[in-house]
Each structure stands twice: as structure tokens, then as C-alpha cells.
Amino acid sequence: MKILMVLTSHDKLGDTGNKTGFWLEEFAAPYYVFKDAGADVTLASPLGGQPPLDPSSDAEDAQTEATKRFKADNAAQKELANTVVLDSVDAEGFDAIFYPGGHGPLWDLAEDAASIALIETFAGSSRPVGAVCHAPAVLKHPKGADGKPLVSGKTVTGFTNTEEEAVGLTQVVPFLVEDMLKANGGDYQKSDDWASFVVVDGKLVTGQNPASSEAAARKLLTLI
């Protein structure tokens, strides 16, 4: 079982002067779900190498069992520091693709041609595609075989407008995940803000927020 995890390379939070990147829990929890299930995990990012970590996700109050495990895991840290360049990745041989969130993907992965092509390839061959929190942003441009947006007519979730408002970034982000999924014809569902909530439609798995990352990864595994 081989799983491709794709992380952002984008570290600028709009024009705020603050940093962003990937969200630690949304990487660590799925990574260990996959590893503990015996999966061979490949990490990739648009620029390769060390992806930028959103500093907010490294704060004390954002730590979980998975993030603590990662911080004590030298092998995993080395793996993360050496992600492969995304456009060098061939979908062949992978059983599923998974995107951790953080605000970074809104800027780079949402518009990344290699990412779009990979998602279309995985979806077109009935292999699971998973994304959590802000990472459903990567579903902005991929199309299905019918030429419509991949999420059109599918039940999906992602970071809510009210969650974005709560973190004060509604006017900073290039687009709102909830609005984009709806605009692309998705049947957008959500639970309470910050509660774990995961939606599965066919081979597409989406999670609402950081609390949903482990559950989303487990759902993805059941589809392989």
C-alpha cells in the first residue's frame, strides 16, 4: 500500500507579513494513521525539500498526541525535510493521495498544475483522494471525466466560513473554501465549528478542520 501525501510550499499569509504553511496536526495525525497501517508514505510538495510549518500549529495549545510523536521521531522529521518535487511524481503505483491543510494550499496547491493533474488521474482511476481543513482548496480546478468540476454533485466539506471568520482571516485568504466548493457545484456539508467532521462520497474524502484529520485519514484507508 503506497500513499502520496502532498504538502504546501507557500509560507506567506497574504499581505499580513505573517507566516503560514501546513498545519502540523493535519500532517502528523494522518501520517501516523497511514504508517501504523503499514503504508509506504511518500511526501511531496511543489518546491520539494522542507515544507513551511504554520507557526500557529506549533503553539502549545495546538499540540496533540500525533504532533508530540512527530517531534520525537527523527526519521519522520528527516522524511519531511526531504519532500520530493511534486511535478516529478508519477501517479503510477500509488493507491491514494492525501492533502493536509493549513492556509498555504490556498495559494499554491489550489493553482498547481501538477497537483490538478494528479487529482484528476487518481479520481479518473477510482483511487481515493483525501483532503482536510483548508486542503479541499486543491479541488478548485480539477475536473471529472464529464468536464465538470470534480466536486460537482458530490457531498464535500472543508474549513467553514465561520471558522475562517473566527481566526480573523476572511479578508486575507484568496478565497473561502466553503464558498468555492459550493460554487463548483459541491453539496457542502458541515458540523459545529472545530468539531471533527468527515464526508465520504465515492472515493473522495474531505474533512472540515484540524480535529477531522485523523478521522479523514482512517476513512481514506478503508477505501484502499
The span from the first CA to the last CA of the chain, in angstroms, equals 8
Domain count, the chain: 1
What's the confidence (pLDDT) of residue 21?
A: 98
Question: Residue 66's pLDDT band (boundaries 50, 70, 90)?
Answer: very high
> For the domain that residue 208 is a member of, what is the CATH number?
3.40.50.880
Provide the residue range defining the domain that includes 108: 2-223
- Cα(14)–Cα(20) distance, integer angstroms: 9
Q: What is the pTM of this model?
A: 0.97
Single-letter residue type at 184: N
95 pLDDT tier (thresholds 50, 70, 90): very high
Q: Are 134 and 99 in contact (CB under 8 A)?
A: no
* Band of pLDDT at residue 202, cut at 50, 70 and 90: very high
Position 185 confidence tier, pLDDT thresholds 50, 70, 90? very high
- Number of alpha carbons in the 13 Å side-chain half-sphere of residue 133: 29
For the chain, give the mean pLDDT.
97
212/214 Cα distance (integer angstroms): 6
Cβ-Cβ contacts under 8 Å for 89 (sequence gap 6 or more): 4, 42, 44, 114, 118
